[in-house]
Amino acid sequence: MATREAAPPQPLRLRATRRRWGEDFVKVGLALCAFVSVATTVGIVVALFEPAFEFFREVSIVDFLTGRDWAPLFEPPSFGVLPLIAGTLLVTACACLVCIPFGLGSAIYLSEYAQPRTRRILKPALEVLAGIPTVVYGYFALTFVAPLLQDIGLPVGLFSALAAGLVMGVMLLPTVASVSEDSMAAVPRDLRDGAYALGSTRVQVATRIVVPAAISGIIASFILAISRAVGETMIVLIAAGGQPNWSWNPLEAVQTMTAFIAATGQGDVPTGSVEYKTIFAVGATLFVMTFAMNLLSIRLVRRFREVYE
């Protein structure tokens, strides 16, 4: 009996039989949309650093980064950026005083203590704080918090780093709470159950199991909040004052990098003048600081996603 040889299976051809130009056209169009984001980044870098380099041709970069006197409009001018950085860090520190402990506390409550139904109401309600325009927070710092600080006996004026920082801290509270809560929610139930089975209390589970397990996401939320605090403009422009200040005293008025940029950029500064270029030099400093923090926090968030999801 003759056996028939089975023909070897033909590989399936999955390619389209003819090229569809319309499909290619669509793909190119969508890629062009995506290209806008790349162009934005390139645009930001060019817009900031090209004038900044010109600025550093006229002003020594060492003087810029180490000088303690910021007076670009004086004669002779002085371009030490440290007072602006000090003002920025001071306001940021005041903001962290609020948003880090209370943001983390809110996150622990939402993730470990609240009933699912309560969480469904509380979480979006807390997010409302993040949706309020910053100019409104500025108004609030100036008309409510500054007088309140005076009423409780602190020797603050109408403008202070403290008032601006505290309000900014409340604004950033949902940022810390929601990113931290996400990373705590990613911690597997088994870890909690194991700890409870060993007789742990709720506090112990929250502080010794969940927080350490979610630590990369929690730290990412802190870094993100600090980066936002450094880059925030309107609250400090309205409520922190406009005087560069190297005293490190939160009760005094300070000027931050962002407030300087906004105050100088809103006027009719002649293009090409040194004053015009200071906007870009300070802007580049601000961009480098926030860029480093953002990359770090993106990387940390990716890590907790990789570990548990």
Partner 1 sequence: MSTHTSPLGSGRPRGLWAGRLFGGFLVVSLLIGFLTLGALLAQVLLDGYKWVDPVLFFEPPSADPLIAGARPAILATIYIGILLILFTVPLGVGTALYLEEYADRDRWYNRLLEVNIQNLAAVPSIVYGILGLAFLVRGLGLGRVLLAGAMILTLLVLPTVIIAAREAIRAVPDSIRQAAYALGATKWQVVWRQVLPAATPGIATGSILSLSRGLGETAPLLLVGALTYVSFNPTLLGDFTALPVQIYQWVARPQEEFRTLAASAIIVLLAILLALNAFAIWLRNHYERRW
The residues in 212-231 that bind partner 1, with binding defined as CB under 8 A, are 224, 227-228, 230-231
44 near partner 1, judged by CB under 8 A: yes
164 contacts partner 1 (rule: CB under 8 A): no
Please give the residues from 58 up to 97 whose contact with partner 1 meets the rule CB under 8 A: none
101 binds partner 1 (CB under 8 A): yes
Near partner 1 by CB under 8 A, which window of 56-64, 137-145, 185-193, 210-218? 137-145
Q: How far is the CB of 143 from partner 1 (least distance, A)?
A: 6
The count of chain residues that interact with partner 1, using the rule CB under 8 A, is 90
Q: Give me the 167-206 binding string for partner 1, x by CB under 8 A, dash otherwise.
A: x--x--xx--x---------------------x-xxxx-x
Q: Is 129 in the site for partner 1 (CB under 8 A)?
A: yes
Of the residues 258, 278, 300, 304, which one makes contact with partner 1 according to CB under 8 A = 258
**φ, ψ (nearest 5 deg) of residue 305:** -60, -40
Rounded CA gap, 113 and 181, in Å? 12
Instruction: Report if residue 17 touches partner 1, rule: CB under 8 A.
Output: no
By CB under 8 A, tell whether 208 contacts partner 1: no
Residues 105 to 124 in contact with partner 1, rule: CB under 8 A: 105-106, 108-110, 113, 122
Stretch that binds partner 1, among 74-82, 127-135, 211-219, 245-253 (CB under 8 A): 127-135
Among 53, 67, 150, 207, binds partner 1 (CB under 8 A): 207
